[in-house]
Amino acid sequence: MPKIVEMIEIAAPRNRVWEIVSDIDNEPVYWRGTREVKNITTNGNVIDREIYQNFGSHSITQRVILKPQNEIEIKYLRGIMEGVKYLRLEDTGESKQKVTAEWDIQFKGVYRLLSPWISRHVRKGTRDALQRIRDASEGKSVAPLPENTPTKEKSVS
């Protein structure tokens, strides 16, 4: 799958945008494809977790690395895809942020054959997620996505 890079400008202070994007347990509210998040271990700013997507019942094992106020690195370790996704924040002016989502992932098995379709789907989903993150950061209401029923399971380790 080709690398996907999407960005959006948000009229909000950096700490507000960070508050939204770093609340990784609420990922299903913003990212259409994520149905459920289950944290396995947390060690400081490193979270190992499983996510379940809205298509199929496959679990995907991820390692999330929070780099406060700057970046979230999500490594796809096991499942139907492998690679990495980044969310980066950059100041662009007084109380304005640019949020960039960058995907560098590959699909495995039969899903590799569907890469062109999946790539278009991921790009659209990323644009939608960034718009929802912008709305939340700017104080606009963000209704839950109809197909997502966010469930949070926090583990303590």
What CATH number does the domain containing 108 carry?
3.30.530.20
pLDDT confidence of residue 9: 97
Is 148 contained in some domain? no
φ, ψ for residue 26 (rounded to 5)?
-95, 15
7-36 pLDDT tens trace: 999 999 999 999 999 999 999 999 988 889
Q: Is the pTM of this model over 0.75?
A: yes
Structure tokens at 133: 């993150």
Q: In what order do the strands lie in the sheet with 46-53?
A: 4-10, 96-107, 81-93, 71-78, 59-67, 46-53, 34-43, 152-153
Is 87 contained in some domain? yes
Structure tokens at 101: 């989502």
60-85 pLDDT tens trace: 999 999 999 999 999 999 988 899 99
Alpha carbons 49 and 93: distance in angstroms, whole number: 34
Per the structure, the count of domains in the chain is: 1
Q: Which domain holds residue 45?
A: 4-137
Is 151 contained in some domain? no
Is 86 contained in some domain? yes
pLDDT of 92 over the 90 cut: yes
Is 10 contained in some domain? yes
